[in-house]
Amino acid sequence: MQNALSIGGACKHTAAAEDFGGEMKRADRLNVARAMAVGLAGLAWANTMAVAAPASPSPAADPPTNPLWSEQKVRNYLPDMSWPEVEDLLKRTDMVIIPVGSLEEHGLHGPIGTDFLNGTEQAKLIAQKTDVLVAPILMPGNSPYHMGFPGTITLSAETIEKVYFEAVQSLIKHGFRRFLLLNAHGGNAATTRFIVDRINQETPGVAVELGEAAGPFMSGAYKAAVAKGAKEFPEPRVFDRHSGVGETSDSLYLIPNLVNMKAARTAKMTLPPHLQAMLPQVIAKDRTANLVFLAEALKAKETGKHTSTREMSDTGVWGVADITTASAAQGKVQTETFVDASVQFIEAWKKLRPMGVN
């Protein structure tokens, strides 16, 4: 009986459990359906928001930038400065260095921009040692005698003079008063002197040619460099001018990645016979011979003098020194000598004519 009762009770409990389980299953199915409905609605909302809202950048990712840009901001260099920085510099100086360069051939190994780039880099180095603004204006200069080589750009002396003079007038309006024109190309010499004279004669500004101004300090600066351990580099005993050992050495120090020394070789040079006969005296630094020589040499093909670089040199280098002897070490000594001499002149000028004197 007990067993029968037990079995009967169990059957009842089993049936009740089945009824309860069925109810539970139906409730579960309903809850699952409700949950799925809510989940699908939430997923749809999330997708809508993902489309509507822009994706946030990863905090670890670097922002995209120009892959070719490698310049660093240089102190006192006008193209890198904001106007408040120029305004602040005007509280400390009224001086401006203006490089005067060129875009012309520099042999098989040198970049077209050698004169502009080297002159600008020298000016930047000076401006790190004494407060002075560096303001490049034009890249090309006067280079008609290099036009036989592709890439050279030449401007007339009148165009160059007009552009630089008007640029100086702008700087004067901002409060600058003293100008140092750094001529990095021999063909600009006469034009640079004329610009200096126009500034002095026609404006409130005062101007000098920096190469001339630094001249008296060059010997002392060179001796000081040698005394500090700089190697001495004797001048070549052969003709060595445009894009020769000296200029190439400067480039190897100032703009090293732009010089292709693998392409460098000694030029084959052909001069008109009467100029060839003068060379020994020119190399010996005879002033009269040098004056007469340069009055005729390096002139445009159109003059009929047969002294354009294409007519005199097979590479564009004007000289017969061994280009492969050029070195960054020599360029360093030459550059630091000029920079130190220029700084000495600028500091002397600041004492002779303090800022603010009208």
Angle subtended at Cα 299 by Cα 293 and Cα 304, rounded to the nearest 5 degrees: 105
| 60-83 mean pLDDT | 92
What local confidence, expressed as pLDDT, does residue 63 receive?
84
What local confidence, expressed as pLDDT, does residue 188 receive?
97
Residue from 302, 306, 278, 280 nearest 292 by CA = 278
Rg, Å, the chain Cα set: 38
**308 near 94, Cβ under 8 Å?**
no
Q: How far is CA 286 from CA 183, 212, 278, 314, in A?
A: 23, 20, 10, 27
Per residue in 203-219, pLDDT (tens digit) is 999 999 999 999 999 99
* The model's pTM: 0.82
| 35-51 mean pLDDT | 46
Residue from 280, 282, 286 nearest 298 by CA = 282
What local confidence, expressed as pLDDT, does residue 55 receive?
55
Q: Which residues contact 301 (CB under 8 A, 6 or more apart)?
A: 145, 147, 148, 308, 310, 311
Q: What integer best gives the mean pLDDT of the chain? A: 88
How much of the chain, in percent, has pLDDT values that exceed 90?
Answer: 78
Question: Which amino acid, one-letter code, is at 30?
Answer: L
Query: What's the CA gap between 220 and 227, in Å, rounded?
Result: 10
What local confidence, expressed as pLDDT, does residue 127 receive?
98
Residue from 186, 185, 101 nearest 135 by CA = 101
Domain boundaries, the chain: 78-233+334-352
Report the topology of domain 78-233+334-352.
Rossmann fold (3.40.50)
Residue from 173, 164, 239 nearest 207 by CA = 164
Tokens at 258, concatenated: 């732009």
pLDDT exceeds 60 at position 348 = yes
